[in-house]
Amino acid sequence: MTVEANSAPKDRVRIFDTTLRDGEQSPGATMTHAEKLEIAQLLDEMGVDIIEAGFPIASEGDFEAVRDIAKLSRDATICGLARANLTDIDRCWEAVKEARSPRIHTFIGTSPLHRAIPNLTMDEMAERIHQTVTHARNLCDNVQWSPMDATRTEWDYLKRVVEIAIKAGATTINIPDTVGYTAPVESADLIRRLIAEVEGGEDVIFATHCHNDLGLATANALAAVAGGARQIECTINGLGERAGNTALEEVVMAMRVRGDIMPFTTGIDTTKIMNISRRVATVSGFQVQPNKAIVGKNAFAHESGIHQDGMLKNAETFEIMRPADIGLAETSLVMGKHSGRAALRAKLKDLGYELGDNQLKDVFVRFKALADRKKEVYDEDLIALMTDAAMEAGNEHLKVKFLRVICGTEAPQSADLTLTVNGVDHQVTATGDGPVDATFNAVKQIFPHGARLQLYQVHAVTEGTDAQATVSVRMEEDGRIVTGQSADTDTVVASAKAYVAALNRLVVRRGKTGTDRKEVSYKDAG
pLDDT over 90 (residue 440): yes
Percent of the chain clearing pLDDT 70 (strictly above): 89
Q: How many CB atoms lie within 10 A of CB 273?
A: 22
Strands annotated E in 366-468:
377-378, 398-406, 413-421, 424-432, 452-460
307 is in an annotated binding site: no
Q: Considering only 298-307, 423-432, 433-442, 493-502, which range has the smallest mean pLDDT?
A: 298-307
399: pLDDT confidence band, cut at 50, 70 and 90?
confident
pLDDT at position 376: 79
Across all residues in the chain, what is the average pLDDT? Answer: 88
Cβ(389)–Cβ(356) under 8 Å? no
pLDDT at position 292: 95
Q: What angle do CA 62, 68, 71 make, to 5 degrees?
A: 145
CA distances from 373 to 344, 363, 381, 404, 464 (A): 17, 16, 12, 17, 12
More confident residue, 94 or 10: 94
pLDDT over 70 (residue 516): no
CATH class of 394-513: alpha beta
Cβ(21)–Cβ(234) under 8 Å? no
245 is in an annotated binding site: yes
pLDDT over 50 (residue 478): yes
Average pLDDT score over residue span 505-510 = 77
Strands annotated E in 50-166:
50-54, 77-83, 102-109, 143-148
Average pLDDT score over residue span 189-206 = 97
pLDDT at position 509: 67
pLDDT over 70 (residue 101): yes
**C-alpha–C-alpha distance, residues 44 and 24, integer Å:** 18
Instruction: Kindly report the backbone phi and psi dihedral angles of residue 395, in degrees, each rounded to the nearest multiple of 5, phi listed first.
Output: -90, 75
Q: How many CB atoms lie within 10 A of CB 28?
A: 16
Average pLDDT score over residue span 164-183 = 98
The 10s digit of each residue's pLDDT in 222-247 is 999 999 999 999 999 999 999 999 99
pLDDT over 70 (residue 73): yes
Q: Considering only 302-306, 319-323, 364-368, 433-437, which range has the smallest mean pLDDT?
A: 302-306
211 is in an annotated binding site: yes
The 10s digit of each residue's pLDDT in 342-387 is 888 888 887 778 888 888 888 898 888 888 888 778 888 888 888 7
**C-alpha–C-alpha distance, residues 71 and 41, integer Å:** 11
Quick one: fold of 3-284? Answer: TIM Barrel (3.20.20)
pLDDT over 80 (residue 512): no
More confident residue, 301 or 78: 78
**C-alpha–C-alpha distance, residues 261 and 362, integer Å:** 50
Average pLDDT score over residue span 55-80 = 96
pLDDT at position 309: 45
**R_g over Cα of the chain:** 25
pLDDT at position 346: 85
**C-alpha–C-alpha distance, residues 155 and 368, integer Å:** 64
pLDDT at position 526: 37
Percent of the chain clearing pLDDT 90 (strictly above): 60
Cβ(184)–Cβ(223) under 8 Å? yes
7: pLDDT confidence band, cut at 50, 70 and 90?
low
pLDDT at position 331: 52
Instruction: Kindly report the backbone phi and psi dihedral angles of residue 445, in degrees, each rounded to the nearest multiple of 5, phi listed first.
Output: -65, -40
More confident residue, 306 or 316: 316
pLDDT over 50 (residue 181): yes
Quote the distance between the C-alpha of residue 499 and its chain's center.
22
**C-alpha–C-alpha distance, residues 131 and 134, integer Å:** 5
pLDDT at position 1: 35
CA distances from 279 to 38, 78, 361, 386, 464 (A): 9, 20, 22, 10, 24
In SS3 terms, 455-519 reads as EEEEEECCCCCCCCEEEEEEEEECCEEEEEEEEECCHHHHHHHHHHHHHHHHHHHHHCHHHCCCC
DSSP 287: P
pLDDT at position 466: 82
**C-alpha–C-alpha distance, residues 276 and 270, integer Å:** 10
Q: What angle do CA 74, 77, 83 make, to 5 degrees?
A: 140
**C-alpha–C-alpha distance, residues 255 and 259, integer Å:** 5
What is the distance in angstroms between the CA of the first residue and the CA of the last residue of the chain? 32
pLDDT at position 374: 82
Q: pTM (2 decimals)? A: 0.82
304: pLDDT confidence band, cut at 50, 70 and 90?
very low
The amino acid present at 249, given as its one-letter code, is E
